Amino acid sequence: MNTRPQATPILFLSGAGLPAWIWDDVRASLPVESVVAAYPKRDGATLHDYADTALAQAPDGPFTIVAHSIGGVVAGEITAMAPDRVDGLLGIAASIPAAGTSFLGALPTPQRFVVGAIMRLAGTRPPEKVIRSGLCAGLGDAEIARVVAEFEPESQRLYRDGVSPRTFPARSGYVTTTIDREIPLASQRKHAAELNPDFRREMPTGHLPMLQDSASLTRILQEFAAGA
């Protein structure tokens, strides 16, 4: 008799500014329902607003969160708000700050102060050169051009609000991207330690593995869903 647990639907939480289509190839290969959460695009939206908006878009009943980059911060807040509904959490190069700490607060010194000051002056949309060389490292020209064209700034509060106390689900995992120019490997390992998952995988990609190597990332998601 097959005793494998039924995989729950997936709520994808993207990194800051990224369009939903970055997940298209991964979602097309998964045998479960999935939703890519849209974030509130308004000045002053709080971290709680982001989590509440994403939670309202989640599939009915229990679901699994797949969180990329700053999506890990939103995932932590959702877990605090609706712990009974979050069946699993997989971080992909995700920021997982300690309770009470913000995305910026989790950055190493002096990066947290430099990035925070730049955001106050210039907003949360990085210069095109930075998007191309950092966020999009490892991608083809057409994908880079599309990401640059469709990148949308987020609220300052997403970066500055501390996450609420939460308990992560027992079924947790973390995927590190080892050639990442956005969240360095050492920082990712600290975030993974905060999550303390049993399931860990590495990908030799930049910060957008769902575009750079969607087939490998899909296999990892399938493994995680199967309880590997």
Would you say residue 3 lies in a domain?
no
Would you say residue 57 lies in a domain?
yes
Q: Where does the pLDDT of residue 26 fall: very low under 50, low under 70, confident under 90, or very high at 90 and above?
A: very high
Pairing of strands 172-177, 34-36: unpaired
Tokens of 211: 């575009």
Q: Under a CB-based contact definition with an 8 Å cutoff, are residues 116 and 104 in contact? A: yes
Q: How many domains does the chain have?
A: 1
The pLDDT, as a whole number, for residue 5 is 54
Would you say residue 212 lies in a domain?
yes
Would you say residue 5 lies in a domain?
no
Picking from 54-68, 106-120, 127-141, 187-201, which range would have the lowest pLDDT averaged per residue?
A: 106-120
Tokens of 76: 């932590």
pLDDT at residue 117 greater than cutoff 90: no
CATH, residue 103? 3.40.50.1820
The per-residue pLDDT for range 181-228, each reduced to its tens digit, is 999 999 999 999 999 999 999 999 999 999 999 999 999 999 998 875
Would you say residue 2 lies in a domain?
no
Range of the domain at 53: 10-225
Query: What burial letters (b/e) apply to 184-222, b meaning 16+ CB within 10 Å?
Result: eeebbebbbebbebebebebebbbbbbbbbbebbbebbe
pTM, entire model = 0.94
